[in-house]
């Protein structure tokens, strides 16, 4: 059953792609109409698009353990090429039976987005893919901890409520991003993207580890891989048309 669905899933992708190609081909076969001055020539809007990540805002309101704010921006360089970046601040508390840690920090991400979606007429939507280089500066506060022991003959184990600071930590990572932006109404966009990250380097705190990196997200013991998603509302400040 599952396999069948997977099959339908892939078949529909292939069928859709084929359909598209054939239509393009059909368009090509239409003979060029005699050249007349086209008064209805649509120009692309160029400008700086600025927005906020509403997923982070929603999470800030929904969760006691998280607060974060991110500003996103992109600037159109060419028809399909944008320089893009994000800047943000995050605070997150991670807790399990043995550790309680608060992470605080800021981050900046910069890179490019490439639009792969061919707009029709004057539409201005994007389905894009791009990359980012991310930098984060942060600190951890170990609020409390309890020694881990598999043997509980002498329970409870040692625990400490004395807050311990791990300051001046940094991390660098690379990010691949795919997403879409749709113009809801004039110059207002709604965007959605997913990000896959690979850690390049980070400062390891002494006798501790980076549990969470602002901008990068949760870290894993085994691999320097992270993932995340963004949901943004943005406004393009139109500068010129081309």
Give the Cα separation of 169 and 174 in Å (integer): 17
Give the Cα separation of 201 and 224 in Å (integer): 9
Residue 109 CB neighbour total at 10 angstroms:
25
- Min separation Cβ 107 and other proteins, Å: 18
For 200: left if phi > 0, alpha if psi spans -120 to 50, otherwise beta; the answer is alpha
SS3 242: coil
One of 11, 63, 122, 147 touching other proteins (CB under 8 A): 147
Give the Cα separation of 184 and 191 in Å (integer): 10
- Min separation Cβ 8 and other proteins, Å: 13
- Min separation Cβ 92 and other proteins, Å: 13
Which residue, 111 or 191, is less far from other proteins as judged by CB? 191
Which residue, 163 or 227, is less far from other proteins as judged by CB? 227
Q: Which stretch binds other proteins (CB under 8 A): 41-49, 70-78, 107-115, 174-182?
A: 174-182
Q: Is residue 182 within 8 Å of residue 125, measured between CB atoms?
A: yes
DSSP β-bridge partners for residue 106: 89, 137
Query: Is 63 among the residues that bind other proteins (CB under 8 A)?
Result: no
Q: Is residue 53 within 8 Å of residue 232, measured between CB atoms?
A: yes
SS3 45: strand
Give the Cα separation of 95 and 232 in Å (integer): 28
Q: Which stretch binds other proteins (CB under 8 A): 13-21, 36-44, 72-80, 105-113?
A: 13-21
One of 4, 96, 161, 162 touching other proteins (CB under 8 A): 96
Which residue, 83 or 178, is less far from other proteins as judged by CB? 178
One of 39, 161, 162, 207 touching other proteins (CB under 8 A): 207
- Min separation Cβ 31 and other proteins, Å: 13
Which residue, 160 or 237, is less far from other proteins as judged by CB? 160
Q: Which stretch binds other proteins (CB under 8 A): 31-39, 69-77, 204-212, 232-240?
A: 204-212
Angle subtended at Cα 187 by Cα 181 and Cα 190, rounded to the nearest 5 degrees: 30
One of 10, 188, 229, 240 touching other proteins (CB under 8 A): 229
Residues contacting residue 6 through CB under 8 Å, at least 6 positions apart: none
Which residues here bind other proteins, judged by CB under 8 A? 16, 19-20, 23, 26-27, 30, 94, 96, 98-99, 117-118, 120, 125, 127, 145-151, 153-154, 156-159, 178-180, 182, 192-194, 196, 207-209, 211, 217-221, 226-229
């Amino acid at each position: 059953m599952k396999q069948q669905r997977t099959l339908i899933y892939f078949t529909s992708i292939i069928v859709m792609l084929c359909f598209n190609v054939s239509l393009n081909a059909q368009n090509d076969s239409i003979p060029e109409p005699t050249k007349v001055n086209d008064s209805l020539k649509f120009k692309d809007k160029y400008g700086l698009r600025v927005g906020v990540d509403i997923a982070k805002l929603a999470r800030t309101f929904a969760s006691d353990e998280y607060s974060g704010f991110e500003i996103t921006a992109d600037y159109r360089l060419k028809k399909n090429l944008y320089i893009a970046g994000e800047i943000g601040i995050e605070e997150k508390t991670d807790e399990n039976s043995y550790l309680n840690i608060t992470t605080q920090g800021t981050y900046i991400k910069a890179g490019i987005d490439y639009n792969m979606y061919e707009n029709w007429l004057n539409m201005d939507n994007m389905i894009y893919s791009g990359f980012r280089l991310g930098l984060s500066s942060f600190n951890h506060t170990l609020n409390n901890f309890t020694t881990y022991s598999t043997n509980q003959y002498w329970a409870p184990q040692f625990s400490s409520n004395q807050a311990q600071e791990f300051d001046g930590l940094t991390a660098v990572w690379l990010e691949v991003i795919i997403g879409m932006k749709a113009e809801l109404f004039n110059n207002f966009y709604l965007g959605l993207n997913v990000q896959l990250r690979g850690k390049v380097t980070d400062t390891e705190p002494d006798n501790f580890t980076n549990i969470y990196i602002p901008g990068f997200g949760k870290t894993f013991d085994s691999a320097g891989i992270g993932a995340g998603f963004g949901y943004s509302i943005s406004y393009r400040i139109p500068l010129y048309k081309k």
